[in-house]
A = this chain, B = another copy of it.
Amino acid sequence: MTATPEVSASVDPNVLTAVLDGKWAGVRRAIRAEMADTRFRDACDLDVEQHRAQVLDQLHELARSGRPRLGFSPEYGGGGDIGGSLTSFEMLAFGDLSLMVKAGVQWGLFGGAVQLLGTAEHHERYLRPIMDLELPGCFAMTETGHGSDVQHLRTTATYDPGTQEFVINTPDQAARKDYIGNAARDGRMAVVFAQLITEGGSRGVHAFLVPIRDERGRPCAGVRISDCGRKAGLNGVDNGRLVFDEVRVPRTALLNQYGDVAPDGTYSSPIDSDNRRFFTMLGTLIRGRVSVAGSAGSATKRALAIAVRYGETRRQFWHPDGHEVAILDYLAHQRCLLPALATSYALHFAQEELVDALDELQSGGSYDEHRQRELESRAAGIKAVATWHATSTIQAAREACGGAGYLAENLLPVLKADTDVFTTFEGDNTVLLQLVAKGLLTSYRDHFEDLGTMATARFVAEQFVGAVIERTAARKVIERLVDAAPGRDDEDALFDRGWQLKLFEDREEHLLDGVARRLRRAASDDTDPFRVFNDAQDHVLHAARAHIDRVVLEAFVAGIDRCGDAGARALLERVCDLYVMANVEADRAWFLEHGRLSASRAKAVVAAVNDLCQELRPQARTLVDAFAIPEQFLAAPMLSEEP
């Protein structure tokens, strides 16, 4: 029935850990050791202010470790290791997610903006104090009225040539900066995104360094700061609101990598199109999205590790043999956890590949726009898929632990609450998937205008020639497998990796072609183009999802191909089978509707998920142990109680 070898009874989790740890194994090991320290403990029964204080202390601890320097240029004392830096955020997310987010705000978003949007003067002046946390900062992009549509932010930065200053202003309530991490309590400075107005016109959104508090922590003149208050989770992060009443900052406060204003007010930029410049600047956000995807992965692994351990020890109802059955022996329980576990493995490899690609691209000197766009799109898509996976899996893990899982002491409630906003921040998932589809439909070419609908529709109409599958991972391995795949009707095909890869490719191509056909109408018909685009929205999202699923599968296949240990490899092959079968099962209506699966083949897919769940059940503990999560983050009392 299966093309892959039998899974042996015992695989050493450490061997699997080495496979998972991959290229940045050193960073992973170092952070694991560091985080085993009780100083990095979870927040337990702290109120909001205590939690914020604890997280700030931990943040200083991190700064002292020097690790936050990893992602910055060596020129200014940084480590120049972008991949290592992203991996360190991912690992941090095994612990209190408030710390990960606060670190992400300080070093990823705030520091990243200064590094990537600023120029030498900004780097010299600010990077060291940012790395050392002497200058805690904010990333003030989102406004109350505009979150997804950041191109239409309403904060203004009007240049005054008389004083050579920018005047930062919040015109109304909807334009206040909202949900800004580090703003309510600790931030001293903010990178503020605002419409740059000079020479009597707007040049679109640019970023400005604006002091928000003085050295004694009092709000600066003209800056009104308020607190977003309690949130569902992440209460160790001080999110706040910022309102600017004609705040003046010097001309040099403009982070002028992609656009500058001369003393007399003349605007200049290496990129002519306002839209294109804006999206090039936004492209620098990619690290944030990559980090959220990685962190979602770590939190999901932690929830799965807890739930699998509980499922092995918790027993309920009697077997006819006279023993109480471990709940993980029930098929329904396996179905809750094991396909999710397989998906976590798949996403792990996709994440690693994404980090690797980004590291390669940003470490190399030359700018490859096509690759940059492809990476932005992939980061957006993997962020969406990984965070939705986190939301549903952590929910399933909570339910799988019953009433015990509802108690704060057993960790799952906090994981659920903290990760809940991951589907929203760094880009709403639905908007991100549309971005993915747009990139695919336009082959990442130019015209990266707004995230709205019309530009896409028109552009697709003009340029789309058909879905082109660009393979990202270990191209040769994938091609070899696909070429050797049996035909669609072959009875044994289900477990053939090449056949599976082709199935995923084919779904993506078909969906993309269909979307393109529908969108062309938007440009050619008399019908309302918004209507055409909107009517196709579920189709667009499905196409994007199918693309990411294919990218994830290819990464998994490439990861297995790199695995040298035969036992570990055989186990991973099975996990990959479960990932594929569960994915196809969830979408099998589509495969049936489009003649890709017969009814009997579709039923065989459902049966395969059941079989694989039962086959992998004895390996579940090994699979979660391989994540090598520091034990203090798994210390749920329900796991240590006597039976």
18 A-B pairs besides A320-B454, A406-B421, A413-B417 with CB distance below 8 A are A147-B316, A148-B317, A149-B316, A228-B407, A231-B406, A232-B412, A331-B537, A391-B395, A398-B420, A399-B423, A399-B424, A405-B424, A406-B424, A535-B610, A589-B589, A589-B592, A592-B602, A593-B599
Closest-by-CB residue of B relative to A405 is B424
A599→B429 CA distance, assembly (Å): 30
B173 lies within 8 A of A641 (CB)? yes
Interface centre among A316, A535, A606 (most CB of B within 10 A): A316
Q: Which residues of B contact A538 (CB under 8 A)?
A: 331-332, 335, 606, 610
Interface residues of A in 440-469 (CB under 8 A from B): 450-454
B407 lies within 8 A of A530 (CB)? no
Q: Does A229 interact with chain B (Cβ within 8 Å)? A: yes
A452 lies within 8 A of B318 (CB)? yes
A643→B152 CA distance, assembly (Å): 14
Q: Does A45 interact with chain B (Cβ within 8 Å)? A: yes
| List of 4 A-B pairs having minimum Cβ-Cβ separation, nearest first | A232-B413, A230-B408, A589-B589, A331-B537
B642 lies within 8 A of A173 (CB)? yes
Interface residues of A in 584-599 (CB under 8 A from B): 588-589, 592-595, 599
**Chain A contact patch, size range:** 35 or more
Closest-by-CB residue of B relative to A314 is B145
Q: Which residues of B contact A398 (CB under 8 A)?
A: 232, 420
A320 lies within 8 A of B599 (CB)? no
A434→B593 CA distance, assembly (Å): 31
Q: Which residues of B contact A316 (CB under 8 A)?
A: 146-149
Copies of this chain:
2
What distance in Å separates the Cβ of A26 from its nearest Cβ neighbour in chain B? 35
- Of B179, B406, B430, the residue contacting A232 (CB under 8 A) is B406
Q: Which residues of B contact A413 (CB under 8 A)?
A: 231-233, 417, 420
Q: Which residues of B contact A420 (CB under 8 A)?
A: 398, 406, 413, 416
A273→B599 CA distance, assembly (Å): 46
Q: Which residues of B contact A428 (CB under 8 A)?
A: 402
B408 lies within 8 A of A231 (CB)? yes
Q: Which residues of B contact A230 (CB under 8 A)?
A: 45, 407-409
A594 lies within 8 A of B599 (CB)? yes
- Of B45, B321, B451, B529, the residue contacting A320 (CB under 8 A) is B529
Asked, given contacts A403-B421, A421-B403, whether A332 binds B144 with beta carbons under 8 Å apart, the answer is no
Q: 1/0 contact trace for A129-149 toward B, CB 8 Å?
A: 000000000000010111111
Interface residues of A in 317-343 (CB under 8 A from B): 317-321, 324-325, 329-333, 335
B592 lies within 8 A of A452 (CB)? no
